[in-house]
């Protein structure tokens, strides 16, 4: 997924939080065996990492240092 705007960035952060919660729940779900719990938790973690990469890519494309003397990020115009 390529993040296109600030709204999608916000939604991505919300998904990251929800996925962290889902992973914790999956690890302790009593109705699943240990292998199933770990497999589901691993799948959730892989999805979370993918979204996290997309977030960082968007932030890197959106903000860049003005110069080496002043490396504070400034939005591209």
Range 43-59 average pLDDT? 92
Name the strand (E) or helix (H) holding 19.
helix 6-28
Confidence of residue 2 (pLDDT cuts 50, 70, 90): confident
Examine residue 17 and state whether it is found in any structural domain, yes or no.
yes
- pTM score above 0.75: no
Q: What is the SS3 assignment for 25-74?
A: HHHHCCCCCHHHHHHHHHHHHHHHHHHHHHHHHHHHHHEEECCCCCCCEE
**Within a domain: residue 1?**
no
Q: Which of 22-31, 48-57, 63-72 has the lowest mean pLDDT?
A: 63-72
Domain count, the chain: 1
Give pLDDT tens digits for 5-38: 899 989 998 999 999 899 898 888 888 888 998 9
Which structure tokens are listed for 63? Answer: 């903000």
Residue 29's pLDDT is what? 86
Domain that holds residue 14: 6-75
């Amino acid at each position: 997924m390529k993040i296109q705007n600030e709204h999608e960035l916000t939604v991505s952060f919300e998904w990251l939080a929800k996925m962290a919660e889902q992973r914790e729940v999956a690890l302790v779900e009593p109705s699943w065996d240990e292998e199933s719990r770990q497999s589901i938790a691993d799948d959730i973690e892989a999805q979370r990492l993918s979204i996290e990469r997309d977030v960082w890519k968007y932030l890197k494309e959106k903000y860049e240092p003005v110069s080496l003397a002043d490396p504070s990020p400034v939005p591209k115009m």
